[in-house]
Amino acid sequence: MFKHIFRKNKSESNKAAQAVQREKFSKDLDENIKCVQEVLAKCCDLESRPIRIGRDRQIRAHIFFLDGMVDSGFMAANVLKPLMLLDPGDTGGPKLDDEILNSLLPAGTVDIVKSPNILVSRILSGSIAMIIEGRESAFAIEAIGWQERAVEESQTETVVKGARSGFVENIRVNRSLIRRMIRYPDLKFERLNLGRITNTEVNIAYIDGIVMEGLVEEIKRRIAKIDIDGVANFGMLQEMIDDSTFSIFHQSYSTERPDRACSCLLEGRALILMDNFPFVVVVPSAITHFFQSAEDYSSKYVVASFDRLLRFVGLNITVLLPGLYVAIFSYHHEMIPTELLKSISQAREQLPFPIFLEMLVLELSLEVLREAGVRLPRPVGQAVSIVGALVIGQAAVAARLVSPPSIIIVALTAIASFTIPIPEGSDAHRLLRFPVLLAAGAFGLPGIITAWLMLLVHLAGMRSFGVPYLSPISPFFLSDWKDFLVRVPSSFMKKRPIQTAKTNIRRQGSWKRGGK
């Protein structure tokens, strides 16, 4: 049954690609116009107009473009005006094409296209198409002029000190943002297309000579394997190229910051850029990324190291604290200082639910609040947070449904989860606390230890494009620890990460620090 359904879907999806039937232009202009109009039938944004060009305006031509995709001012000044007003010097011989191409059109990118298929795809990506009477070819003049967002500060990875620019939706701008930081001929952008229908542009960026050996080929292989109509989000792409699909962790991570992306390039990693998405995907990724923030490199190494250790503590709090609280307070009362036990048991006096259930409900309601918070329209946001914080939180304590210590634990967990700088990391860890909580409620501390060990085994077995996910912890590389839980002064980081830059490890020459 499934086979049948799959087969049916396949044939349907192929239909769209077959819509453009004609492979070649004919000599007849009207037929060519009809052909393009047929393919783009029922597209109300298709604009077309006939024009006359050449000496004495004798030659008929036709122009197609999509409304909103092209810059109309640019079109008028650089396409229509020269064509309609200037003299090509030829009445219609084979030289006319050259004349138009070489001296009439001041636009940057002008191509002669031989097939209607390609012409349509150029129209769809923001070109002006011009078909001239009596020619088996057409002109595609690039005049992209759609509305887009300017380069703004990154929303997901904000820093106090650091570059303010963030990636935008336009892949060309993103490329330029990277290029501006690395002005080096060996910085390569290789182009691929993804999606039969969406035809999304995907770029692989890397620095030749530094990039991990075989990485680019492997990325290309994995992307080429994907057979899909369209990729609606870069997360889908991430998932489709991940090594372990079923893991809770992404084996690549995305960043919105060009500076971060560039430092990854210099470490021997590769970037995957995707058109229409203001994020680039970094591969291979490792556990070190959970603790690194762009901020670290603009603050002094002591401060940066302290912050990293804080993030490590924050990560552990996120995953373990609710579980530890439940385990210790329902199984291991011996471990608690007497005064603390007394105050907690006093606070829990006459509460209806066991501590495990209480924590489970509170943690779930925190997730509900968080999820609702993402979607709240801004005007009601404040009202809802008051309801969430005051009414639910305080009233629940006053009504003796939950105890104040549990609220503290939940709040601490929520805050700690935001110390992890990359969303991929914090999302995974936020979820991991539920299995840990479950294990703690069922088995106490042995349960937590088992859950933790299972997580470690999973992490240690995972790879991202051949690089062990837990490196530099396991396998152990001392030199990579310089930029992991602590950050040593920049002048001491003379080497690139061993796993990603195997062949070109040296990053700094032997030089003496300033003042020496």
Partner 1 sequence: MAKKVLVLLAIIPLLLLPGGCWDRRETEDLLLVDSIVFGKPNTGDTGQYRVSFITTRPSSGGGEQMGASGEEGTAQAATQWEVSSYGTTLEEAIRKFSIRSPRYVYLAHNRIIMFEEGLAKEGISQAVDFLLRARGTRLRNYVLIVKGDTPDLLTSSPQFEDTLAGELYSILETSVGEGDYYYPSDLNIIAQGILTNGLDPWAPFIETFSTDQASDSSADQPVIIRGTALFKADRLVGYLDAEETQRFLLLKGLSNAGYYDIEINGRKLSYRYEQAKVRRRLTVEDGRVNVSFDVTLKGLLEEIHFYSNLSKTEIASLEKSLSAKAEAALLGTVNRCKELGSDALGIGRLIHSRKPEIWKEYSKNWYSIYPEIGIEINVKAQIAGTALGTKPIVPKISE
User: Which residues of the shown chain bind partner 1 in the complex (CB under 8 A)?
Assistant: 246, 329-331, 333-334, 338, 341-351, 354-356, 394, 397-398, 400, 404, 438-439, 441-442, 444
Nearest-approach distance from CB 350 to partner 1, in angstroms? 7
Separation in Å, CA 376 to CA 40, 158, 394: 39, 21, 22
151/445 with CB nearer partner 1:
445
Please give the backbone phi and psi of residue 125, each rounded to the nearest 5 degrees, phi first: -100, 20
Q: Is the CB of residue 499 less than 8 Å from the CB of residue 286?
A: yes
115/343 with CB nearer partner 1:
343
Nearest-approach distance from CB 451 to partner 1, in angstroms? 11
Nearest-approach distance from CB 231 to partner 1, in angstroms? 23
CA 271 to CA 78: how far, in whole Å? Answer: 36
231/437 with CB nearer partner 1:
437
Please give the backbone phi and psi of residue 245, each rounded to the nearest 5 degrees, phi first: -65, -35
Q: Which amino acid, one-letter code, is at 222? A: R
CA 394 to CA 407: how far, in whole Å? Answer: 9
Q: Is the CB of residue 420 less than 8 Å from the CB of residue 290?
A: yes
5/41 with CB nearer partner 1:
5
Nearest-approach distance from CB 501 to partner 1, in angstroms? 34
CA 138 to CA 101: how far, in whole Å? Answer: 11
Nearest-approach distance from CB 325 to partner 1, in angstroms? 11
345/503 with CB nearer partner 1:
345
Distance between start and end Cα atoms, the chain: 76
Q: Is the CB of residue 107 less than 8 Å from the CB of residue 78?
A: yes
303/364 with CB nearer partner 1:
364
Q: Give CA angle at 227 (213, 5), nearest 5°.
A: 150
Nearest-approach distance from CB 247 to partner 1, in angstroms? 12
CA 124 to CA 69: how far, in whole Å? Answer: 8
Nearest-approach distance from CB 234 to partner 1, in angstroms? 25
Identify the H or E element spanning 254. strand 253-255
Separation in Å, CA 61 to CA 33, 35, 126, 130, 488: 10, 15, 19, 7, 67
CA 394 to CA 140: how far, in whole Å? Answer: 66
3/512 with CB nearer partner 1:
3
DSSP state of 100: I
75/320 with CB nearer partner 1:
320
Nearest-approach distance from CB 316 to partner 1, in angstroms? 23
